[in-house]
A and B are shown apart, each in its own frame.
Chain A
Amino acid sequence: MQELPLLYRTAASSLSVARSIALDRNLILYLEGLVLRAFFVVYGPRVGILEALGGFLKRGFPQAVRGAGWHILLATLAVAAGIAIGYLMVLPNEAWFSLLVPESMAGGRGPASTADQLRRTEIFAPWPGFVDSFVVFANFLFRHNATIGIMTFGLGVLGGVPTLLLLGYQGLILGAFLALHYNRGLLVDFIGWLSIHGVTEIGALILCGAGGLVIAEKVLFPGRYNRLHSLAMAGKAAAGLAGGAVLMLFVAGIIEGGLRQLIASTPWRFAIGAATGVLWTAYFLSIGRRGGHGSAT
């Protein structure tokens, strides 16, 4: 194995010599095949799956997040605008709520719900038990969120506008819920209920959207390179953003499905939400700053 690079170079130079002096087609084709196969071994990936995933978590993902500053800002703005619009629409007229929020998301909540109902069945609903909360519900949430996240990412190919619209729509739903709870005097409790997982979940959604926007930028403004080339250069980082965000959604699903109803006090929920926020920020800003041996992504 130590000698392989040397043998590879010997074969490559033999090929060059053969091409210039010999007309034996079989010999040249054989050498080409040999050099090509050696090339794969010499320049192929030499890490296992665990190392690759570890490298991704230690360097690739945080670096991708740091590299996408204004994309993240833009995605955040889209969500914030959605929240503001949804809030302002539903606040004076709750009839908008059922228009904005699809039935499956509303889950029985709506203009007809009373404060007491919301408090009992939603915010401080009883914990459904270990298996149901951690396995079934968490998984349902994960799949639902991952679908939306990956869609925001994939739609980036279409130039970024669908990505922003989808992000804005998610914000719209959230804003509608906020207004609904504000009208019933439950705003603080609701934000607590939301923040415990929402920090992770909305963060992941924004990262997915940012990944989509990176793609969109390269499609719309390829710069010095041609579109394919520029897409290939940025695509790895963008896919890294989306892939990492899906992992974040997995964490969010576990918190949302399991922990949220287990911890039935608003201050504690705020504390956990803030803690996750601090942890993610620290992770993105500090991990993997020192360059390792070459780039791993």
Chain B
Amino acid sequence: MAQRLDRINRLLDGITRNRREITTPEGVMLEVDIANHGERLVAFLIDFLFWMLATVLLFFVLGLTLLHGVTGSVTFTVVLFLSFLLRNLYFIHFELQSQGATPGKRIVNLKVIDRSGGPLLPGAIVARNLTREVEIFLPLGLFFAVPKIGAGAEFWTAASYFGWAVALSALPFFNRDHLRAGDLIAGTMVISVPRRALLAELAEAQSRYVFSRKQLDAYGAFELQVLEELLRRPSSPDTHGMHLQVCEKISRKIGWLEPVPPAETLDFLRAFYTAERAHLEREQQFGRYRADKNEPAATGP
């Protein structure tokens, strides 16, 4: 199943996304799309922005209430401490509250899940977010604390902090599941959950075209679902051109002799889809599933 859906996406849109199977406690296999690097970066940046806004807002309020009699170093300390607290609470709170999605992840349609399909436990969320501190914020904070244009030792200290942050941030590029260090430790992964709507049924009740069994044996499930995707695309000159092309190919393949007028292309394709799907589903129920046209067709009577 995974293979098939993946092939269709690759053929039509050139999307190559890693997929991973998880088994729910009920024993149902679900395939999940692993989040891309880009999506995760965007989600993180959105969260970062929210966190900065919240921190600025907090200090604005604090500044209004506690303005008098505070020295610079005290303010600085309070700023550092509260932003540290706010940052960790932000990530942990939202991942607990909305099933593994911070606002940034929610906007990009990402979710944190348990890697083996079990329930996502609070401990895992706490662990993966505390590790974020070690991965990025702590070394970067230290890096900015060290004077940059120093001689010898100071330069190397700064470089090692920076190298630490870069090396750990690059970790998702070096494994198939795009895990960062926190995901490794907490046993989680981040997946993409696109929203899909249930569309109308494509199959038609009656049609003018009649296909013979031999003609329907030309294709398998893969070709059928590619055709379905094409038929579900919003109509545009581009889509229409594609329909014409596909229609011509199918006619040639199944030996459809009378030419299909361009205006009736869509009708023809729909009729063919309906007949082909009915045929393949019937075959499937008899235990003769056919993945694509390269598999030998069942030799019926």
Contacts and interface: CB of A to CB of B under 8 A. Distances in A.
B277 A36 contact: no
A60 B123 contact: yes
A220 interface: no
A39 to B, nearest CB: 6
Closest 9 A/B residue pairs (Cβ): A232-B187, A235-B185, A297-B123, A44-B99, A239-B127, A52-B122, A43-B119, A25-B225, A40-B99
| A interface residue count range (under 10 / 10 to 19 / 20 to 34 / 35 or more) | 35 or more
A109 interface: no
A143 B84 CA distance: 10
Contact of B228 (A26, A56, A153): A26
Contacts of A47: 96, 122
Contacts of A19: 1
B252 interface: no
B77 A135 contact: yes
A268 B71 CA distance: 32
Contacts of A287: none
Contacts of A44: 99-100, 119-120
Given A33-B195, A43-B119, A25 B229 contact: yes
Interface core residue of B31, B138, B202 (most chain A CB under 10 Å): B138
A231 B185 contact: yes
B199 interface: yes
B99 A41 contact: yes
B65 to A, nearest CB: 16
B131 A239 contact: yes
| B interface residue count range (under 10 / 10 to 19 / 20 to 34 / 35 or more) | 35 or more
A215 interface: yes
A38 B197 CA distance: 15
Interface string B60-74: 000000000011011
B231 to A, nearest CB: 10
Given A135-B78, A239-B186, A36 B120 contact: no
Given A25-B229, A27-B198, A32-B30, A232 B185 contact: yes
A232 B74 contact: no
Interface in B163-187: 181, 184-187
B108 to A, nearest CB: 16
B198 A52 contact: no
16 contacts: A19-B1, A25-B5, A25-B8, A26-B196, A30-B196, A32-B30, A33-B194, A40-B100, A49-B93, A136-B73, A139-B77, A140-B77, A147-B142, A236-B123, A236-B124, A239-B127
B201 interface: yes
Contacts of A233: 187
Interface in B25-39: 25-26, 28, 30-32
A87 to B, nearest CB: 26
A1 interface: no
Given A23-B284, A26-B232, A150-B134, A45 B125 contact: yes
Nearest to B225: A25
A157 interface: yes
A15 B122 CA distance: 29
